[in-house]
Amino acid sequence: MFHLLLRGTYPTAHQCEELRQRLAQYMQEVPDIVRQTIFNLPRKTSPLPLILAGLSAYLACIPDVIPATANATIYQTHIKRADQVILQTVAAYAVVFGAVRSHRLGIPWRSPSLHQTYYENLFTMAGLVDPETNRPDPTRISCFRRFGNLNAEHGMALSVFTTLVTASSLTDPVSCLISSVAAAHGPLHFGATESAQRALHNVGEPSNVPAFIEEIKAGKQKLFGYGHRTYKGMDPRVRPIQSILKDLTDVHQPLLKVAEAIEEAAAKDEYFSTRGLYPNADFYGNFVFTGIGFEPEMIPAAMLAHRIMGIMAHWREYMGKEWLLEVE
């Protein structure tokens, strides 16, 4: 998917393997000070400032990628250099993500492996491994990858728009990603998935759904994960997400029953249908992340591990004016 978004073509087996190796290599080359920066901050800190701190520390270690410092037209005149820094940025985000989760949970850091995929290394560094094999669970990797195919690119979303605003001054991709992370965490963007999870927790039981629906209609509650700026009907990503959830049935998720009860009640209520309010990807997507093993507060960061591919493709297009494939 990453190669497809960047280049607009399906990769060959050789290209896939080359991309995997380069991402793994760049993960190993991320300076230790990046993790140390994160580990020196309070463990109870929200993931957002920890991620911003980690990415900022990484950027401070590679001043040669900053156009204002090195070469103002470095990325417009050298597309191969742009491609290299894109991969370094994606690799650095994976390391930062893993360090943030490890630090917040107080679990040992696990280094990336040259023999694993991007998602496998992401899980390994984040501590999402089978205690017996010390490797990520294949089913959960598959679910994360399939969900990533739905999340990697979604047009001119806020995270992309913020990236392009920052890129308009010919800024490097790490700086653009930092601005994108800050924008994406709000409850009206990637934070909506985390907010949806917390709202469902407050509802508690399916039996409480009718009262919750009435409070929404009265303007006393907000239903996160419903409605979309683009889709006036059902978000086409919802049913594939529900299909992914079928592979995570070994995980007890009582709030999923609450979500299904809300959808059933809203489908029968004209208040929602007349306003074009239907579930979007955030409504059920949070259960994919929690089913895999991520904590609710890590959901926006996990979503960015998917969307970073589309974000970098937009940045590349802006710098090189090359083709970008949009996934409808």
d(CA 286, CA 91): 24
Amino acid at 88: Q
Q: Are 287 and 255 in contact (CB under 8 A)?
A: yes
d(CA 55, CA 278): 36
The three-class DSSP label of residue 100 is helix
> Which of 228, 235, 306, 314 does the annotation list as catalytic?
228
d(CA 196, CA 135): 30
Angle subtended by helix axes 191-203 and 299-320, to nearest 10 = 160
d(CA 317, CA 162): 15
The three-class DSSP label of residue 321 is coil
d(CA 86, CA 304): 15
Token reading at 244: 């992914």
d(CA 305, CA 57): 18
In 3D space, the residue among 95, 89, 100 whose CA is nearest the CA of residue 49 turns out to be 100
Q: Which burial class, exposed, middle or buried, applies to 269 when counting CB atoms under 10 A from its CB (0-12, 13-18, 19+)?
A: middle
The contacts of residue 115 (CB under 8 Å, 6+ apart) are 24
Q: Which burial class, exposed, middle or buried, applies to 256 when counting CB atoms under 10 A from its CB (0-12, 13-18, 19+)?
A: buried
226 bridge partner residues: 279
The three-class DSSP label of residue 292 is helix
Q: Is 282 a catalytic residue?
A: yes
d(CA 260, CA 7): 39
> Which of 185, 282, 306, 314 does the annotation list as catalytic?
282
| Active site residues per annotation | 228, 282
